[in-house]
Structure 1
Amino acid sequence: MRLPFFKKKTKKQRYTVAFYNLENLFDPERNVNILDKDFTPNGVKKWTVEKYQRKLQKLAKTIYRIGDEEHPYPPALIGVAEAENNSVLKALLDTDPLDDVDYGFVHFDSPDERGIDTGLIYRRRFFKLLHAEPLALLVDNVGGVRDTTRDILYVKGELNKELVHVFVNHWPSRRDGGVETEYKRVIAAKEIVQRIEGIKTEELDPNIIVMGDFNDDPSSLSIQTLKEEAGLFNPMETLHIPNSRGSSVYGNKWNMFDQILVSNSFFNYEKNTHSFDKADIYDHKSLREKKGKYKGTPYRTFVSDKYLGGYSDHFPVYAMLTFNS
């Protein structure tokens, strides 16, 4: 059944910018160039076409609704993480109700061994794509061997004819320990700072949006480095309550790894520009575990190799922009 557009009357021209870690959006086909064997019908997760399509349906409905309590229309921009390839993003956008929205997307294959990449989905009606490229994140493991982690996706475009620069991230994981791997995420932060400095040599007061799963909280050194050295505002700082609210859970602690930071230019309120309005976590009850030990936490697709049939192990996050007409 197709979801209706709820056309409420709104005084403001609002646009939702979102980020969503899709939790291993793999197709069921084997790709010998990446480590995706687990996500095949014969793999340990028994990932079938039926399960894949069920996940696409859940994700499509969620993306469509992000921020719907603030604004009745689907997001204008959605950064995503953990997408295997172009085909899964195309399949996602071809799934009801997203198939009724004028979405396009940007994606590049990254050197990540598992093949999980970042991407940017955008509404063609509001966003004109001007340039996109993957920015290699060159970090080494402790032993000196390169960590083949995800690229940073850089996209330049016009949102309602206003020039914006978007960086979509999925920074190196904490698999080998948060403290032990912190230096990798600080390097990622400094890479973006350097890119923003380059943009500032060509533009006065550019509009910057940095979003992603940073595998660090707002208070972490990497995010503080990004915020301070690039001159960004992080609305996610006030949303994170470690014992009760965040975008994902590890152990009994809520993390706020999913964040959207914006440049101070989004506070200028000039005509024909966008201004920051508010930000939030889209933690709707439909995306939560309904009962048991993990009640209230993200309703995941998998816990280890056990199939739960949920959405993702992360909640989406979003920022609301107002167009000053």
Structure 2
Amino acid sequence: MQRAATSRPADERTVGIAFYDVDRLYDTLPALFYDDEEYTPRGRLRWTAERYARKIRNTAAVIDSMALPVVALRGVENERVVRDLAAACRGDYSYLHRTLNTLDGLDFALLYYGDLFYPHYAEPGRHYLYIEGTMGRDTVGLVLSADTRMSEWVVRDLRAERPGAKLLVLGRSASLEPARYGLRDATARAARAGRGTVRSRGRWVMRDRILADTAFTVVGGDVFARRYLLDPRSGSPTATYSRRVYTGGYGYSLPVFVHIR
């Protein structure tokens, strides 16, 4: 079983940022432009208002446990679910959502404290969302990615087009060589220690990572693991559905986080 990593900052000068794949957070309404029929009350998964409300509560509980000022989300269907999630959190989060026009209808979103991070530009693309904003005196660019090859293409272009932005790459980035683009893998140490965000074939895999600009001082990065997020029998994260059977868990993936200054 993974060690329970703390997400508390090392000192008041650090900023904590997390990435969390929330495991298909759909509302219960049929969509017009993609097929989400399974995630409706009459669909095969019987996705009811009660199950949706529990999923919102579970996801908010994880975000509240991390207690970080910036949380990037993967797997939210639309602005409505992001709004419901932000309202369910104890933290006073603002939110940013963009539609990606994916086949499954799932998007990225950002929860953030408006007195710490002020976004002023957002660019959605194929399997990614780029958010640029001000954090203190710095211009910070967040690359939220669901595709490792896309991560490299986006970072390469950003280094050429927006050289003044300090980058953080959150999500899928396994094939990207961090040093080539002035980045370091803030989750590499955790991966070497055998920790990861998902379980595959009986072992932990660091599927989601956080790469930080070398202009940042990385105080620490790790997987956010708690006993309540794991199945006590298998040691794997408790998914919302297991082989199409509703289990009411938090999700199949654990969040990752980093502290920078």
Q: State TM-score, norm by structure 2.
A: 0.91
Identity of aligned residues (%): 24
Partner residue, 1:25: 25
The one-character-per-residue Cα deviations of 1:133-182 (angstroms, maximum 9, x if unpaired) are 21x23xxxxxxxxxxxx3x11111111342211111111xxxxxxxxxxx
The size of the alignment, in residue pairs, is 254
Partner residue, 1:276: 218
**Cα distance, 1:14 vs structure 2:** 2.9
Partner residue, 1:193: 156
- Please say if 1:210 is aligned against 2:152: no
Structure 2: which 5+ runs fail to align? 1-7
Between Structure 1 and Structure 2, whose CA radius of gyration is higher?
1
Structure 2: distance between partners of 1:41 and 1:304:
18
**Cα distance, 1:228 vs structure 2:** 3.4
Q: Specify the SS of the correspondent of 1:265.
A: coil
Partner residue, 2:230: 288
Q: Specify the SS of the correspondent of 1:163.
A: strand
* Matched residue type, 2:142: V
**Cα distance, 1:64 vs structure 2:** 1.3
Partner residue, 1:318: 257
Structure 1: distance between partners of 2:122 and 2:167:
14
Structure 2: distance between partners of 1:245 and 1:229:
25
Q: Specify the SS of the correspondent of 2:143.
A: strand
**Contact 1:17 1:319 (8 Å CA) reproduced:** yes
Query: Pick from 60, 73, 77: which aligns with 1:84?
Result: 77
* Matched residue type, 2:251: S
- Please say if 1:125 is aligned against 2:88: no
Shift of the 186–318 alpha-carbon distance from structure 1 to 2, 3 Å rule, reads same
Partner residue, 1:260: 210
**Contact 1:241 1:254 (8 Å CA) reproduced:** no
Structure 2: distance between partners of 1:9 and 1:113:
38
**Contact 2:229 2:237 (8 Å CA) reproduced:** yes
- Please say if 1:301 is aligned against 2:240: yes
Structure 1: which 5+ runs fail to align? 1-7, 67-73, 138-149, 172-184, 267-274
Structure 2: distance between partners of 1:281 and 1:11:
19
**Contact 2:143 2:151 (8 Å CA) reproduced:** no
**Contact 1:276 1:321 (8 Å CA) reproduced:** yes
* Matched residue type, 1:117: D
- Please say if 1:166 is aligned against 2:142: yes
The one-character-per-residue Cα deviations of 1:207-255 (angstroms, maximum 9, x if unpaired) are 111101x1x6x4xxx223xx1331210021221159x521001232321
Across the aligned residues of Structure 1 and Structure 2, the Cα RMSD in angstroms comes to 2.0
* Matched residue type, 1:125: D
**Contact 2:238 2:251 (8 Å CA) reproduced:** yes
* Matched residue type, 2:181: A
